[in-house]
Amino acid sequence: MDISEKLIYLDNAATSQIPDEVLRDILSQLQYNFGNPNAKYKVGSFANDFLETSRHVVASRIGALSNEIYFTSGATESNNWAFYSVLNQQENVPSVITSAIEHESVLEPLKHLEREGKIKLKIIDVDGKGRLLVHDYLKAFDSSTVLVSIMYANNEIGTIQDIELLSQIAHSHGALFHCDAVQAVGHEYFDLHILNNIDYLSASAHKFHGPKGIGFLYVKEGCPLNPLLYGGGQEMKMRSGTQNVPYIVAMAEALEWSLYKKEHYEELFEAWQNYLIDTLCSEISGCMLTGSSSHRLNHLCSFVIDGVDTETLLMLLDQDGICVSAGSACSSGSLEISHVLKAIGLDDSVSRGALRISYSYLNTFEEIKYAAQKIIDAVKRCRSFTGDF
């Protein structure tokens, strides 16, 4: 097949494709392992064995204990669950620290709690590359600080935070530390025995080639956790409801598959990233990389392109069978100006030309090169419509 006839999917930070190996697991589980894992007869016990094996796999791949992993519907649920478990039990109004570039599933529940008068929220600025301003972070702590929530890597610009340092600082001030690790799990190596100041960690399977609607919350042993749903007492009596065993098994398989592939794609991804940055920034006037050039995910490139309307650019690329994005796809399809780009100091006029490219182990360098040329061509067409440049 000619590459121009293919769909080239380069929006893996929004969601990722399910590889054949993981899809076979889902279908096999749906067909043959249909039992309720909480039933006491053999069919139920068989399903429970798969459930607990998957829990062990997920735990071992991030350096956790099996009893520290709770299966959820995804990171939005996991984030909310962690926050409400910590904050609903406070006698006085506590303060919570987060950053200006967090995902909406972190910022919105915290802002909601602030509006209800239940917390004092302190939002810390970042520098022009998206790295947290540590001096401001240190000044934000006081005796009422009980929780910090900082993402491992940003979903729009790919910048990685110094989570080891930030979590140590939080603990030194007596605060619990939550990490939204959605963009990092399956893409970065985790060992929570080493990152031992992380108390809560959230992840979604569909960001690392698993199905949508399944994720997990890591809760360090001994940290507060209140029941999320009441009923039959599943998930160690903390989240009632029959577990989705086929998707849980698929998530564990997807995590193993992604980390195995990472070993073989590390250098390739760095080469692809360098190619995209060098090519687009040299061939397109007014194109600038956003985020850190050194502390960033290696499967994600993000740019702002002056004199280009993102919506038009994405439409033209879609006509060429290329799927890229402006940034986060988790805000009801909104193409509003990104709060992340505002936080790193970009003007609205520049931010309207945002472009995010995120590739996966299912892509090829041929696709990367083809997409880069199509982006260059599409930018020229966009500018021809307005007469810019």
For 253-310, how does the pLDDT look when each residue is reduced to its tens digit (9 = 90+)? 999 999 999 999 999 999 999 999 999 999 999 999 999 999 999 999 999 999 999 9
Domains present along the chain, CATH in parentheses? 3-18+261-386 (3.90.1150.10), 20-256 (3.40.640.10)
Distance separating alpha carbons of residues 323 and 53, to the nearest angstrom: 35
Residue 232 CB: number of other CB atoms within 10 A?
12
Question: Where on the phi/psi map is residue 65: left (φ > 0), alpha (ψ -120 to 50), or beta?
Answer: beta
Report the SS3 class of residue 379. Answer: helix
Give the residue-averaged pLDDT of 236-253. 97
Task: Give the pLDDT confidence score for residue 89 in this predicted structure.
Answer: 81
- Measured N-to-C along each axis, helices 365-386 and 245-283 cross at an angle, to the nearest 10 degrees, of 60
Report the SS3 class of residue 215. Answer: strand
Provide CB contacts within 8 A for 200, sequence distance 6+: 78, 82, 176, 177, 178, 179, 217, 218, 219, 220, 223
Say whether pLDDT at 156 is over 80: yes
Task: Give the pLDDT confidence score for residue 328 in this predicted structure.
Answer: 61
Question: Range with the lowest mean pLDDT among 5-14, 82-91, 327-336?
Answer: 327-336
Distance separating alpha carbons of residues 109 and 204, to the nearest angstrom: 18
Provide CB contacts within 8 A for 91, sequence distance 6+: none
Annotated active-site residue in 223, 281, 323, 330: 330
Task: Give the pLDDT confidence score for residue 235 in this predicted structure.
Answer: 97
Higher pLDDT, 387 or 124: 124
- Alpha-carbon 322 to chain mean position: 22
Whether 330 is a known active-site residue: answer yes
Task: Give the pLDDT confidence score for residue 330 in this predicted structure.
Answer: 45
pLDDT above 70 as % of the chain: 97
Confidence bin at 332 (pLDDT 50/70/90): very low
Task: Give the pLDDT confidence score for residue 387 in this predicted structure.
Answer: 63
Say whether pLDDT at 222 is over 60: yes
